[in-house]
Amino acid sequence: MLAYIFYGLFVLSCVVLILCVLLQPGKADAGALFSSSVSSTAFGPRGTQTLLSKITIGAAAAFMLIALCLSLPFINGTSSVLQAGEPPQTLAATPTPAPTPQATQSAAATPAPAASTKPSPAPSKSK
């Protein structure tokens, strides 16, 4: 239930952030970006901020904090994506079965395969 609230807030902050960024007025025309005018600053003066820029900052902060909260395991209820299937098996929990005496006797009674009588070709020495 808590995860649905966080996902709803996350989507809401995404939509608000997108709308606020798209509604921001441009600082200069496109030609000023490529010229070498030293007098213009990249972000403008930091003195006054409009209501739209304050909403943008708040939506960006909410977006990042909610995304961080959604990555925590106690919100989603899962511990890991890798642990979603079967629980991991440890070596101590699964003992290795000892070989049975019948299997070792039958393996020893089986004759070894005969060696091939076909001669192998000699390696050629080419320069």
CA angle 99, 103, 106 (to 5 degrees): 155
* Pair 78, 84: CB distance under 8 Å: yes
Q: What is the pLDDT of residue 65?
A: 95
Given the structure tokens 């649905």, which residue do they identify?
A: 4
d(CA 52, CA 64): 18
- What angle do the packed helices 51-70 and 2-23 form, to 10 degrees? 150
- Amino acid code (one letter) for 61: A
d(CA 14, CA 17): 5
Whether the model pTM is above 0.85: no
Q: What is the full per-residue pLDDT of the chain (127 aa) written as tens digits? A: 788 899 999 999 999 999 999 998 876 666 655 665 555 555 555 556 788 989 999 999 999 999 998 888 777 776 665 665 665 566 555 666 777 777 555 555 666 666 666 666 666 666 5
Q: What is the pLDDT of residue 81?
A: 59
